[in-house]
Structure 1
């Protein structure tokens, strides 16, 4: 495989199966769960509050694009990596709870730190892809 792809200047990194499952859980599987959950939640909200999903603009569409993936495929993927995903979902819920508590306390600094940290990390991703 390395010989076949050598002309593409691929950067090879060897990791264990456990490391692979952790990484793809965090960077692929969990985002699919979050995107699908956001779409499902929004569908219910739209039905209850009588608004149309036609109002969804770029941010919502970009964030939830992957929710349109094959449900049977993603069911199988999630079941094959369930123990790691359960841990990651719990960790994500703790992150949301932290933001919720900051909102409840009107903690402007805590809310700002949440977004500042995310911005700093996301900016690194943009620089790495150039």
Structure 2
């Protein structure tokens, strides 16, 4: 099975379920805090290969929900610069394994890439909390 570097926001309920699915499928997951990585445009860009700029963003990020950041109005260079300054803007999780990188958790794409054990219901990629912070109660995230 694969070793996956999984960039997440610790405490995010969806990222927790996604990591569990990967582990249940036999993969080794190394989870890292997406906010603590010191991203640059050069290190971040490969996660979005072939994906339109507007889809690079975490739609639950506070700055997007407030209208301060409008993904559809951004060029790639501007989007990357903003994400490097504010990693909460980045669509999560970012994953890398075997030289390939991916943003978001599209179960079909992940299954085609590394294989997943089927689950009874799909795992959501969007934060269920209205404030977009997606943390586990009592963790203070």
TM > 0.5 fold call: no
Normalised by the length of structure 2, the TM-score is 0.28
Task: Return the index of the structure with the highest Cα Rg.
Answer: 1
Query: Which protein is richer in helix relative to its size?
Result: 1
Select the structure that is richer in strand.
2
Compare relative contact order (CA 8 Å, sep 6+) and give the higher one, 1 or 2: 2
